[in-house]
Chains A and B, each alone.
Chain A
Amino acid sequence: MMPGEAKRVAIVGAGPAGVRAAERLVKAGLAPIVIDEGFSAGGQIYRRPPGGEVKDYSASYGADASRARAIHQAFARIGERIDYRPQTLAWNIRENRLWIARDGNAEAIAFDALLLATGALDRSIPVPGWDLPGCYTMGGSQIALKAHGCAIGERVAFVGTGPLLYLVAWQYSKAGATVVSVLDTAPRGSQLRAIPGLLARPDFLMRGARFRADLARQRIPVHTGATPLRIEGADDVERLVWEDASGREHVETIDAVALGFHLRSETQLADLAGVAFSFDDTLSQWVPQRDASGRTGVRGIYMAGDGARVLGADAAEAGGRLAACAILADLGRAVDVQEVERLQASMTKFERFRDALATAFPWPAALAAGVADDAQICRCENITAGQLREVASLKGAPELNRAKALSRVGMGRCQGRYCGPAAAEILAACQGKSLDAVGRMRGQAPVKPLSGALKMKDADA
């Protein structure tokens, strides 16, 4: 590339979307800067141990071994051509500058284009007792196994809904952990109804069927239409109390719970960048607005992967490539129209499958809205659902940010990441409003806690 022509492209995230976007930009002669909170590229889905070396791909990633290896290798190939910043937090976006920090050193990166490939996190619903040690997110339970070869306990219950519930339970049983039970809040009927839509990806449908068959063969109880009631224990997870579809109560003796109800996009940076959000009725959540290639309404800001819309790792690879093509086109580079059309067509399939998953494993809104008054909704600061309801009814908080200011739910260190979805349901139910009418929690910089002693490097022009 000619001097003076160099455009600065920054990518936040080095999961499947970030890696494929970086690779596509390098192919066009650009040298993007890649900001990654992880120790090494791969994201959470293809996460590696801290040293970055995977000895046995099959043991670590199972059916996804070849995809994990492909992503790791793709990133290794472009390593010399990009500016890779591992273990670095992107914590603010202002005036076409991305603020990053590593080991207490902050820096502002000027960019012409910024791709947010920030991935997803568990969409959680508080279950009374979830603040006891030994209760982990579904994603966290998988990371323990995948990156570290550890089970979160000796007797684990898997609770929630969504494809990850079955995948992680299956991975645990295959690795030799004791899976006490798999409790799915989704009714059986909804899963059968979704089968035609799930045929958009027959390979994934078959995989799900295989997980179920293997769990059944291991005589691991799988219950659909289940309702988790509470996690009990003196100072640790000891029991799980739940109700089956016919209303009968059961008690399991356990020492760990994996809890998760699908994933949701990590969108706080997009929010700080000024990206518009719209309410998605199928997913019952706010999603960032972008076009079919990942362009947002804010000039120079692009989104891809699960951080834009949770469609899974394969879709994230396509989305990352698409966003890179959009960036290249907007920077005045020639882009092959057929490549873009092909990638966009593949996204349609992923979208169809995602809609079918929402039918198969519906978000249990009533469970979230009905969290018991004495249950902690905010694990950061031990604030109960009752306290939030008091604010909603007595103080009349009309929307989520006001309720947050009054109750402190969402003001703790996780910044609403784990209490937010249920807080919105509780507030909406309290006030007899629809979920979209109570708004959404706004992102705040820094999007994650920074070290108190932060040294600033001069912003480069």
Chain B
Amino acid sequence: MAQVPVTGRFHRLRPTTGKRIEIDIDGETVTASSEDTVLVAVLSARRIVRRSEFGGGGRAGMCLMGACQDCWMWTADGRRLRACTTRIAPGMSLRTDPPGDHLWPGRS
């Protein structure tokens, strides 16, 4: 793996066993490991995965095991995914803000 970009929140302490892949976060290409979850891939390069729809603060997940629901992100084509329980894949295109008119259900 390449050096951890200084912009990332997570700090890799062990070399990853995965292959180096490229993904897209908010239109920028970054590298990740094929053994990452989406959460680990994004936070190795960025500080947040989304903004709270109740107040706008940045969010970066909390439990990492699919319980707190803090890390739901969007894909460029408007799908939602829970970053900590989704495996990263080459070419994934992720968004920290809802693309287009997509809003979180339940919020009008």
Contacts and interface: CB of A to CB of B under 8 A. Distances in A.
Nearest to B50: A133
Contacts, number: 134
Contacts of B52: 131, 382
B23 to A, nearest CB: 14
A380 interface: yes
B94 interface: no
A133 B69 contact: no
Contact of B63 (A122, A153, A175, A380): A122
A51 B18 contact: yes
Given A381-B54, A418-B68, A153 B87 contact: no
Given A59-B14, A134-B9, A418 B35 contact: no
* Chain B facing A: main interface SS: loop
Interface in B70-90: 70, 72, 80, 82, 85, 87-88
B60 A134 contact: yes
A110 interface: no
Contact of A152 (B9, B67, B70): B9
Of A122, A144, A449, most buried by chain B (CB within 10 Å of CB) is A144
A152 B71 CA distance: 14
Interface residues of B, number: 43
B27 interface: no
Interface in B23-47: 34-37, 40, 43-44, 47
Given A50-B87, A134-B60, A135-B62, A149 B36 contact: no
Interface of A: 37, 39, 44, 47, 49-51, 53, 55, 59, 87, 121-122, 131-137, 139-140, 143-145, 148-154, 175-177, 235-236, 255-256, 266, 379-382, 412-414, 417-418, 448-449, 451-452
27 contacts: A49-B17, A49-B36, A50-B87, A55-B17, A122-B63, A133-B9, A133-B57, A133-B60, A137-B62, A140-B62, A148-B16, A149-B12, A149-B16, A150-B40, A152-B9, A175-B14, A235-B57, A236-B47, A255-B9, A256-B9, A266-B67, A380-B70, A382-B52, A382-B54, A417-B67, A449-B69, A451-B80
**Leading 5 A-B pairs by shortest Cβ distance:** A149-B14, A133-B60, A413-B69, A140-B64, A50-B87
Interface of B: 9-18, 34-37, 40, 43-44, 47-48, 52, 54-55, 57-70, 72, 80, 82, 85, 87-88, 105
